[in-house]
């Protein structure tokens, strides 16, 4: 194997590892505040520590992982205030993405987004939350790219990374999940119609609804220990 080949494969590997870790963080397999056990992760992912550590650095740059001096790394745990503030920013970024995408989306981009939407609907009917979420995230990402504003995309990706786990968990309630699907159908109709106002509005509301669900979940989790303690007494 040549030096040139190694230089190509090495970054691809740690990017693949970062993708796997990101998915584990989003789906709660690595809990907020939990330490990333390098030995366990290396065994589970069947990799050496070098690509794992490079992947962890990538996630730290995204704000998903916190590097602690001489103590390894932990999954970031956002406060309620930080979650609320981040969702407020994200709602504005999603709305702007939608407004610009409605004006600038190409027929090829629209066809790809619609195809992913159909796949996402099939996953919803199967109640396959993991696949549904991956397709959902891809649709939002493609709409952002259709806006054709690199500055917006850079900021969008940075802020969105902090909310992935919360956006995933917001669909664990059946009624809220159904509402989110209806909002996605409205997004597709607005994008097809090139209605920038309608698409920006539905995306803004969509993110605010997710914020409300997530804040309720966080408050319930916070109240649970006190309730359990009361029951024990």
CA atoms within 13 A on the CB side of 192: 12
Whether the pLDDT of residue 217 is over 90: the answer is no
CA atoms within 13 A on the CB side of 40: 6
- pLDDT value, residue 229: 43
* Domain 3-75 sits in CATH 3.40.720.10: no
Q: Determine the 3-state secondary structure of 130 from DSSP.
A: helix
Which carries the bigger pLDDT value, residue 165 or residue 163?
163
Give dist(CA 182, CA 43) in Å, integer. 41
Give dist(CA 221, CA 31) in Å, integer. 13
Whether the pLDDT of residue 2 is over 60: the answer is no
The candidate with the shortest Cα–Cα distance to 38, out of 63, 12, 68, 61, is 68
pLDDT per residue as tens digits for the range 20-70: 888 888 777 888 888 999 999 999 988 898 999 999 998 888 778 888 887
The number of helix segments (H) and strand segments (E) in the chain equals 10, 2
Tell me, which fold does domain 80-221 have in CATH?
1.20.120
Q: pLDDT category, 11, cuts 50, 70, 90?
A: low
- Model pTM? 0.74
Topology alike, domains 3-75 and 80-221? no
Give dist(CA 32, CA 217) in Å, integer. 14
DSSP character at residue 70 = T
Compute the average pLDDT of residues 215-229. 66
Which carries the bigger pLDDT value, residue 43 or residue 220?
43
- Domain spans in the chain, listed from the N-terminal domain onward: 3-75, 80-221
Give dist(CA 47, CA 162) in Å, integer. 26
């Amino acid at each position: 194997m040549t030096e040139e080949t190694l230089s190509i494969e090495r970054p691809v590997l740690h990017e693949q590892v970062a993708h796997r870790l990101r998915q584990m963080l989003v789906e709660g397999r690595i809990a907020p505040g939990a330490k990333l056990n390098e030995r366990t992760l290396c065994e589970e992912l069947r990799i050496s520590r070098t690509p794992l550590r490079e992947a962890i650095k990538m996630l730290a740059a995204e704000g998903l992982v916190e590097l602690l001096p001489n103590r390894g790394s932990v999954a970031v745990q956002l406060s309620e205030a930080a979650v609320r503030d981040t969702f407020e920013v994200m709602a504005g970024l999603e709305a702007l993405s939608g407004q610009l995408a409605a004006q600038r989306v190409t027929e090829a981009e629209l066809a790809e987004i619609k195809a992913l939407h159909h796949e996402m609907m099939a996953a919803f009917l199967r109640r396959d939350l993991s696949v549904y979420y991956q397709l959902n995230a891809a649709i939002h990402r493609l709409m952002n790219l259709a806006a054709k504003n690199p500055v917006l995309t850079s900021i969008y990706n940075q802020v969105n990374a902090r909310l992935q786990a919360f956006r995933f968990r917001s669909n664990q309630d059946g009624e809220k999940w159904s509402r989110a699907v209806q909002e996605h159908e409205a997004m597709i109709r607005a994008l097809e119609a090139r209605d920038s106002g309608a698409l920006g509005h539905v995306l803004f509301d969509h993110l605010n609804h997710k914020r409300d669900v997530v804040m309720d979940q966080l408050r319930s989790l916070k109240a649970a220990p006190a309730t359990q303690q009361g029951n024990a007494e």
